[in-house]
Structure 1
Amino acid sequence: MQVILLAGAGRMGSALLRGWIETMGAGYHFVALDPHAGPSLADIGAEPAPGSRFSHASTIRDLPSGLRPQVIVLATKPQSIGDVIADLRDRIDAETVLVSIAAGRSIRSISKAAGTGSPVIRVMPNIGASVARAVSAGFASTGTTSRQKTLVERLFTSVGQMTWLEKEEHLHLVTAVSGSGPAYYFAFCEAMIAAAEAEGLSSETARALAIGTVTSAGQLLACHPDPAHLRATVTSPNGTTAAGLASLLSHGVLEKLSRDTISAAARRSRELSQDPEKRGNCE
């Protein structure tokens, strides 16, 4: 039985754990290590699949004696990862895959903290994991085997889709586009609601229309992943959609806003990846 240890069962960690237990089937022992997540995990492990196990440990001392995880998923705050690895060092060897979903902690820094020569994989999922619609991208350290990558890929495809990157540096852009991206769409939805209310719709109607439109647009993109084609399909010449788009796209404002948004988020990710003594007040 393969042991998957999750260190940190907050919002993202618990979403991942739920996906693993519900979809990965037999042959796994999932262990959640988190001092604060006992009640929130009660329903997750209530009925694991036949042939699999789930257990929760509040502290390192509560872990089963002799437990040797094949994979440790680090889902804590970035500044806590070093301490977590130090606490788990006796359970890490050269074959243990360390997977970090924390922004700003490089493979080099994680490898240095472990000091075991273990393979390290960084993955950036997003909040879509909570509804099994995550978009994740990862980068693996040199020496990670195809078998190890396949196992980690299965962990993240259990909550959505997963792609591999050619450069670790690209994780800053992944963080900016898909990691932070849901918030941009939520913000635009808020702006649509406010605009509809300003034009005279009730708050209830504005919310229903704006949220329903964003939801249906996302479903259309999932079925037909060509945004330009879908936009053209909805837009009749000289119609209302054309008039709205003309304002939205005028003078390249939307394009510039999008570039500035992605650039700002990626820049912040790079700041957070600096050594602690160089971060200043970045956190």
Structure 2
Amino acid sequence: MTTIILAGAGRMGGALLRGWMAALGEGLRIYAVDPHASETLDDIAAAAPGQPQFCHAATAADLPENLIADAIVAACKPQLTHAALQSLSGCAGPDTLVVSVAAGVPLSTLQSVFAAPSPAVRAMPNIGATLGCSATAAAASPDCTVPHRALVERLFRAVGSFSWLAREEDLHTVTALFGSGPAYVFAMCEAMIAAAQAQGLAPDTARALAIATVAGAGRLLQETPEPARLRETVTSPNGTTAAGLQALGDSGLADAVSAAISAAGARSRELS
């Protein structure tokens, strides 16, 4: 039996837990520790009866005595991660893997939380995990074993696809692009709605059409993952789309996106 402790069951932690409960079968025991999410955790457990063994605790003190986890997954805010892991030190054995999904918390910090250095993994899923369509990227400390890596892959493939990074440094760019990226798309959708309303479209109509546009574009990218080709396909020479793209270019869209990713990456480095 593989034992997982999940520290934090908010938006991301809850998404991970839902994925594990829905996609992973027998042989897994999960304990979720979160003082504020008892109703949410009850709902998650009720939605997947007969799947992994599951229970939750308000604090680490409520966990069973002498419990040693195979992995402790911290899904807390970055500033709370160290304290959350420290509270679970009694559940860490010499081979316990520490996993964090918090932006900016380095492997060196994760490895130093407990009395003895721990194998550690930094992972970056995004909000798509709530729908099982995240694409997690992760970096591992050198002492992570093949079984450790296999467990990480199993956990994160339950909420989407997964890939390893060769360098921990690359997680700053992954955070800026993939972790923060959905917010850029949502902001673009907001701007489209506002612009359509300014041109006289009814608010409900503007919202429905903008959302359908973004959702449909995402589906097309899944089917044909070549953005340039798709852009060319929907752009007739001298047509309306060409005029709109020209305006976006004149407005500095590429520079704005570059600045957003650079700023988010810089902030990730500051948090490290």
Alignment TM class, shorter chain as reference: over 0.9
Establish whether residue 244 from structure 1 lines up as the match of residue 241 from structure 2. Answer: no
Contact 2:69–2:93 (CA under 8 A) maintained in structure 1: no
Match of 1:261 in 2: 260
Contact 1:67–1:91 (CA under 8 A) maintained in structure 2: yes
RMSD of equivalent CA atoms: 1.3
Match of 1:129 in 2: 129
How much has 1:222 moved relative to structure 2? 0.7
How much has 1:85 moved relative to structure 2? 2.3
| Equivalent-residue separation in structure 1 for 2:158 and 2:262 (angstroms) | 30
| Equivalent-residue separation in structure 2 for 1:21 and 1:51 (angstroms) | 6
SS in 2 for 1:168: coil
Q: Please tell me the residue identity of whatever aligns with 1:214.
A: V
**Greater Cα offset, 202-211 or 61-70:** 61-70
Q: Please tell me the residue identity of whatever aligns with 1:264.
A: A
Match of 1:63 in 2: 63
Contact 1:19–1:132 (CA under 8 A) maintained in structure 2: yes
SS in 2 for 1:42: helix
In structure 2, stretches of 5+ residues that fail to align are none
SS in 1 for 2:68: coil
Q: Please tell me the residue identity of whatever aligns with 1:99.
A: V
SS in 1 for 2:94: coil
| Equivalent-residue separation in structure 1 for 2:148 and 2:50 (angstroms) | 24
| Equivalent-residue separation in structure 1 for 2:122 and 2:258 (angstroms) | 25
| Equivalent-residue separation in structure 1 for 2:79 and 2:204 (angstroms) | 41
Q: How does 1:204-215 map to 2 (within 5 A)?
A: 204-215=204-215
Q: Please tell me the residue identity of whatever aligns with 1:270.
A: R
| Residues 138-177 of structure 1 deviation map (CA, whole Å, 9 limit, x = unaligned) | 0000011122111111111111121111111111111100
| Equivalent-residue separation in structure 2 for 1:87 and 1:248 (angstroms) | 50
Contact 2:31–2:54 (CA under 8 A) maintained in structure 1: yes
| Equivalent-residue separation in structure 1 for 2:212 and 2:111 (angstroms) | 45
SS in 2 for 1:44: helix
| Residues 44-75 of structure 1 deviation map (CA, whole Å, 9 limit, x = unaligned) | 11254646301001111211122211111011
In structure 1, stretches of 5+ residues that fail to align are 274-283
Match of 1:190 in 2: 190
Q: TM-score, normalised by structure 1?
A: 0.93
**Percent same amino acid among aligned pairs?**
51
Contact 2:110–2:118 (CA under 8 A) maintained in structure 1: no
Q: Please tell me the residue identity of whatever aligns with 2:153.
A: E
How much has 1:250 moved relative to structure 2? 2.9
